[in-house]
């Protein structure tokens, strides 16, 4: 890590007098890939090229780690303004496409105060825009290039928030206050008039250094309607995550369960996901299983967009998606400090209607089985960067190399 240089304005200001105690890093990532989905909405196959996961990420630690800063500039609003072709994806007005994220994906400052010299017991407060203390890692950090369908069930991101956390040995307890509205456009700021209308609570533990478990709950006010007139959501998440060094490589695994109920339980959506990766030398095979239910909302004239904000009759059904994704990447020798990884992944998605809604998948897609093939190359310059880890939740534990993506 390079010393004496901050990555965000506050760290630049503070780095001078604390030069001997400061560390900082900067990471750039992107992925150029072609994806083919068969069938896509309307029944015909569709192929597209996208420059995905393009971001600049940085962090700094000052005063022996008592002051910390994290920032991520996400450029997907410019590189994929219409989203990324992805069967089953949903959120922020997109459907069967993964939406671009906000340009200011995270910018967070943290103060940490240990209660003892070893820092085994400590408290910290984090504030800014970024990841709420709920759920699991942002999928951008994980092995599979394509986001899981459960993204909006399993994470709450890009909110203005204040999080208070306490660590006692291997256990961390966090509570967050934030605004319920999610971004409607990449350049949109949070609705600060709604700050504090939503909250989240998470308990994270490390029974052994290489295993992390968490349970979290959130009450989110009107996430789909910026002015607060929409239904609220009650969310639960539980997960277990493994990150283990193998000498010549490492192993990663994640199992997660998530549940979101809306309109006082009138609609309930659930997700189960298991994924794993082995990095053995230059080889990186990986796999993901997912079973997620999603709402089928009224679409606009563009079959990949939904009516937003939703009205009372927008929900026309519920579907259950069962996906299997198999992938393989190979790490090429570094070139000018850049790591290039050609990769290929294949997904088989089965979709079925749940209940008696109007939406029938086989009629809309032409089949109840959809295939997806993605081929491309992932690029990273800089060290691994695990987003959404703030304050006392940050511990020095094994982190697989792929988490730079």
DSSP string, 173-217: EEEEEE--PPPSSTTPPP-GGGTTSEEEEEEEEEEETTEEEEEEE
Band (141; pLDDT cuts 50, 70, 90)? confident
What per-residue confidence (pLDDT) applies to 12?
A: 27
pTM over 0.85: yes
Mean pLDDT of 208-237: 92
Looking at per-residue pLDDT, the higher value among 225 and 292 belongs to 292
3-state secondary structure of 153: helix
Lowest mean pLDDT across 64-78, 372-386, 391-405? 391-405
**8 Å CB contact between 390 and 131:** yes
**8 Å CB contact between 74 and 102:** yes
Phi and psi dihedrals of 310, rounded to 5?
A: -70, 145
DSSP state of 76: H
Phi-psi region of 358 (alpha: psi -120 to 50; beta: other; left: phi over 0): alpha
What per-residue confidence (pLDDT) applies to 313?
A: 61
Band (128; pLDDT cuts 50, 70, 90)? very high
State the Cα–Cα distance between residues 275 and 204, nearest whole angstrom. Answer: 20
Out of 2.60.40.10, 1.10.10.10, 3.40.605.10, 2.40.160.10, the CATH code matching 9-404 is 2.40.160.10
At which residue do the structure tokens 């960067």 appear?
385
Report the candidate in 25, 97, 17 with the shortest Cα–Cα distance to residue 306. 97
Report the candidate in 87, 79, 75 with the shortest Cα–Cα distance to residue 374. 87
Distance of CA 145 to the CA centre of its chain: 12
Percentage of residues of the chain with pLDDT beyond 70:
90
DSSP state of 224: T
| pLDDT of residue 124 exceeding 90 | yes
| pLDDT of residue 13 exceeding 60 | no
At which residue do the structure tokens 């909110």 appear?
159
What per-residue confidence (pLDDT) applies to 11?
A: 31
| pLDDT of residue 398 exceeding 70 | no
Phi and psi dihedrals of 336, rounded to 5?
A: 55, 45
Phi-psi region of 135 (alpha: psi -120 to 50; beta: other; left: phi over 0): left
Q: Taking the CA of residue 320 as centre, how many other CA atoms within 13 Å lie in the half-sphere pointing to its CB?
A: 10
Q: What are the b/e assignments for 343-361, b being 16+ CB within 10 Å?
A: bebebebebebeeeeebeb
State the Cα–Cα distance between residues 115 and 113, nearest whole angstrom. Answer: 7
State the Cα–Cα distance between residues 95 and 88, nearest whole angstrom. Answer: 7
Report the candidate in 347, 337, 384, 386 with the shortest Cα–Cα distance to residue 369. 347
- pLDDT for 231-254, tens place per residue? 899 999 999 999 998 878 899 999
Report the candidate in 328, 332, 331, 330 with the shortest Cα–Cα distance to residue 345. 328
* Torsion angle (degrees, nearest 10) of CA 306, 311, 316, 318: 80
State the Cα–Cα distance between residues 241 and 393, nearest whole angstrom. Answer: 14
- pLDDT for 22-59, tens place per residue? 788 899 999 999 999 999 998 899 999 999 999 999 99
Q: What is the mean pLDDT of the chain?
A: 88
* Domain boundaries of the chain, sorted by first residue: 9-404
Mean pLDDT of 116-127: 84
């Amino acid at each position: 890590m390079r010393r004496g240089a901050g990555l965000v304005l506050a760290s630049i200001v503070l780095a001078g007098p604390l030069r001997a105690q400061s560390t900082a890093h900067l990471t750039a990532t992107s992925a150029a890939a072609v994806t083919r989905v068969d069938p896509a909405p309307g029944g015909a196959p569709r192929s597209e090229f996208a420059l995905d996961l393009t971001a600049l990420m940085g962090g700094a630690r000052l005063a022996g780690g008592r002051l910390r800063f994290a920032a991520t500039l996400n450029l997907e609003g410019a590189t994929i303004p219409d989203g990324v072709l992805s069967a089953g994806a949903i959120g922020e007005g997109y459907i069967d496409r993964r939406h671009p994220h906000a340009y200011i994906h995270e910018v967070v400052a943290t103060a940490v105060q240990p209660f003892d010299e070893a820092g085994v017991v400590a408290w910290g407060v984090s504030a800014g825009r970024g990841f709420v203390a709920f759920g699991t890692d942002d999928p951008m950090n994980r092995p599979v290039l394509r986001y899981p369908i459960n993204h909006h069930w399993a994470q709450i991101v890009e909110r203005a928030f204040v999080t208070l956390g306490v660590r006692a040995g291997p256990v961390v307890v966090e509570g967050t206050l934030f605004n319920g509205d999610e971004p409607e456009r990449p350049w949109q700021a949070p609705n600060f008039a709604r700050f504090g209308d939503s909250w989240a609570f998470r308990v994270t533990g490390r029974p052994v250094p290489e295993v992390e478990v968490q349970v979290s709950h959130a009450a989110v006010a009107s996430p789909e309607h910026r002015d607060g007139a929409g239904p609220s959501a009650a969310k639960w998440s539980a997960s277990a995550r493994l990150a283990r060094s193998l000498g010549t490589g490492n192993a990663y695994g994640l199992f997660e369960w998530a549940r979101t109920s809306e309109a006082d339980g009138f609609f309930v959506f659930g997700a189960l996901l298991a994924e794993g990766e082995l990095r053995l030398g230059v080889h990186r095979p990986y796999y993901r299983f997912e079973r997620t239910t999603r709402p089928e909302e009224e679409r606009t004239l563009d079959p990949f967009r939904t009516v937003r904000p939703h009205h009372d009759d927008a929900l026309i059904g519920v579907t259950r998606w069962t996906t299997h994704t198999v992938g393989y990447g190979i790490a090429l020798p570094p070139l000018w400090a850049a790591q290039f990884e050609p990769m290929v992944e294949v997904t088989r998605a089965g979709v079925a209607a749940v209940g008696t809604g109007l939406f029938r998948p086989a009629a809309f897609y032409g089949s109840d089985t959809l295939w997806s093939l993605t081929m491309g190359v992932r690029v990273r310059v800089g060290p691994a960067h695990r987003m959404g880890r703030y304050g006392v939740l940050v511990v020095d534990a094994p982190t697989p190399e792929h988490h730079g993506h």
